[in-house]
Chains A and B, each alone.
Chain A
């Protein structure tokens, strides 16, 4: 089914009109554009995950294992025993509804089961109905129900209509984080072989080759060479990108999309120019060539397996510390999980210290991993960068806070500080749509696949709506972000909702503005777009 027109998409959406039927009596409808395809049997098998088979969500029969119910109930019990969050969140929701209209999927669909409270209730009702006496006794009166195959289908539909963005958790008076419930629900579904292809393929590539798209080491190098060609053409300088260099001071890890996918590549060019400017002793690894981690969208175990290679590589290369590129969920993993699941950091790593400013990044003293925006903001604050913000004058910029770096890390000021120094036109979107209240791109947590486009445009609508506001008010034509998934997903989102707005990383703008000794006079930005004023001169 074709994607509905922009003005048609939200016609049916009404936040104040709820279905007649009780939600326990409604079933999801697997309409094309609103769900992701199932994992392919070979991929599932290669990853050693349960129940590989050919199936699709729109099939009547999902070919669940015979004892699926037992598996699921055991999995729930197991997660309750291992995660206080899960157990607690099943108990303490008062259904106050404060979270109800905070989810971008609810705002874009009006589907009540996309209210975070009800999304959690899909699981809670089963926990009550299967494990508690009151639930068994009072059933629906207590919000309890039994686990059936229809419930599994519903879980699949709605737990893959949550991008684990945590916006609901900001507003909940008890901090109930529906993202946490989604994470565990997906984990539980995996145990009976209910999964999606778009997540599992990158996971397999990552596990077997080292990065999501399966770029082999020589291809990575070739891609980088292409980017260096472009840089040379634009600036007259050809920086060096050291690969797998033992004894370098810094290991740089970024999402692999930055090596090859437009517009991530421009951000990559920005990094490279910056490191060249600084004369940094750094290296990139073609083995640990992935900062992103789709394992995080699969299970905690898978996340750990895929992330382990970073410390492992840092140890082998004997670097002193690790610098991380612009990525959302990579940073959720690095910030909130890395140290716990893979620490303590290898002994050769030291507390990160900027070789240029001497700043010691005390806040990263255990993990030894610094965010590139922290690094660059520190450089600018110390006056170490010569910047010409007018080179970004063709852009009127706004900044999108990525869910993960916002609500799972709290990095708000660093990228803004950089933006204010590298461009002259910077406008914030409305306060209720940025920082901790930021809206998801609508395609996070591994849902950035084409077959899911309608839902992505719906989920991304609140974000796009805020961009449209500053576009109309201030003429904003560029959306900066610090997330690789954002760079990939906001681009089609803008095309659909606010076509005049382009998308790119913060370090792309740094790369544009950086005045590098020995460079030629720039006439275009890193995308070969003419700089403001350059055309007239030429």
Chain B
């Protein structure tokens, strides 16, 4: 049901583009208005999201410590798993964001009879790395469509990515990798009972959407061969704010463009914001220096706690204290008088 709904939504988009561009010839709508609107939504949505998170304070320093704290000088402390200062936090975050450190820890638990076994389980990590890094490189590669002249490093990236010179045009390694990653992530959601059980339609939707995006892109490059010169004319028009839609770009391009538009517009309002959100995560982005550096809680600072003070307590148990020979604090009475 969830899967079907998500798939239908994505197929619906193809039909929509086919109707809009193929039949009704709404080139400007799909080639200019939609991309602009999507990009704006993305920007505004993302800023809104970040401001919204930032508005809520971090009242406590709740670092999840995954390694030895910094304490005695002769004990080796774990700089990456239990960072003791902000520099080490940056290292920890870098490892988390660039190499998916926590995911790399993944284990699989198996119950046999009444014995539990743990196996290392790096597949999810591998799938996630393949997917995210390929996506990122593909994105960078696309800048050749948005820049003139194309910067050298993008050309280099392009050359490296198609290094194996398979087919014509040369097959990009990242295209293969992202397909592999996506397929794994999707299959996992379908096959693994636990993951399947927790998945919403909104978990399948972005997967299908990105699948659509990748497949339409690959079709364009390897099979249907759209006119690159016209495409670049359009994309350059978009970035230079002089949008125009040249004639004769294939329908498949508009499908691709529509998918990416939907993806960026959807980004800030869905789980996809995890990409930005991870930087805000207080269990990862704070140092474990709690006893050394005081952390301020904005809603408690200057508000003294209410509790049973010693003198009140002494009043309550005075007899018991005296009987059992425990000292009575005379200061309690001096203060009063």
Contact = CB atoms under 8 A, between A and B. Distances in A.
27 contacts: A83-B59, A84-B54, A84-B57, A88-B280, A91-B271, A91-B274, A96-B124, A100-B198, A102-B107, A112-B197, A141-B2, A143-B200, A172-B102, A175-B283, A180-B283, A217-B317, A305-B305, A309-B308, A336-B290, A363-B84, A369-B291, A408-B64, A409-B65, A410-B81, A414-B71, A432-B107, A465-B116
Interface in B79-111: 81-82, 84, 96, 100, 102-103, 105-111
Given A82-B299, A84-B53, A84-B57, A15 B110 contact: yes
Given A141-B202, A142-B200, A362-B292, A377 B59 contact: no
A82 B56 contact: yes
B307 A306 contact: yes
Interface in B103-161: 103, 105-111, 114-116, 118, 124, 128
B71 to A, nearest CB: 5
Interface in A84-123: 84-88, 91-98, 100-102, 107, 112, 115, 117-118, 121
B102 A175 contact: yes
A23 B307 contact: no
B72 A243 contact: no
Interface of A: 6-7, 9-10, 13-19, 23, 80-88, 91-98, 100-102, 107, 112, 115, 117-118, 121, 134, 138, 140-143, 166, 169-177, 180, 207-208, 210, 216-218, 221-222, 243-246, 286-287, 300, 304-306, 308-309, 312-313, 316, 334-337, 339-344, 359, 361-367, 369, 374, 377-378, 381, 406-414, 417, 430, 432-433, 435-437, 461-462, 465-466
Nearest to A316: B310
A80 B116 contact: no
Contact of A81 (B56, B278, B300): B56
A286 B75 contact: no
A115 B198 contact: yes
B174 to A, nearest CB: 21
A97 B269 contact: no
Interface in B214-252: none
Interface stretch (B11-19, B20-28, B254-262, B320-328): B320-328
A412 B68 contact: yes
A170 B105 contact: yes
Contacts of B329: 244, 246, 316
B101 to A, nearest CB: 8
A366 B292 contact: yes
B290 A339 contact: yes
A368 B294 CA distance: 11
A98 B120 CA distance: 12
A85 B58 CA distance: 7
B306 interface: yes
Interface in B25-60: 49, 52-60
Residue in A13, A98, A117, A316 with the greatest tally of chain B CB atoms within 10 Å: A98
Interface in B183-229: 192-203
A100 B194 contact: yes
B307 A312 contact: yes
B274 to A, nearest CB: 4
A245 B326 CA distance: 9
Contact of A141 (B5, B70, B198): B5
A244 B326 contact: yes
B324 A221 contact: yes
Given A16-B193, A101-B109, A304 B201 contact: no
A305 B292 contact: no
A117 B116 CA distance: 21
A156 B123 CA distance: 35
Contacts of B305: 304-305, 308, 341-342
Interface in B258-306: 269, 271, 273-274, 277-278, 280-284, 288-297, 299-300, 305-306
Given A115-B198, A171-B105, A340 B292 contact: no
B114 A10 contact: yes
A18 B116 contact: no
B303 to A, nearest CB: 10
A378 B324 contact: no
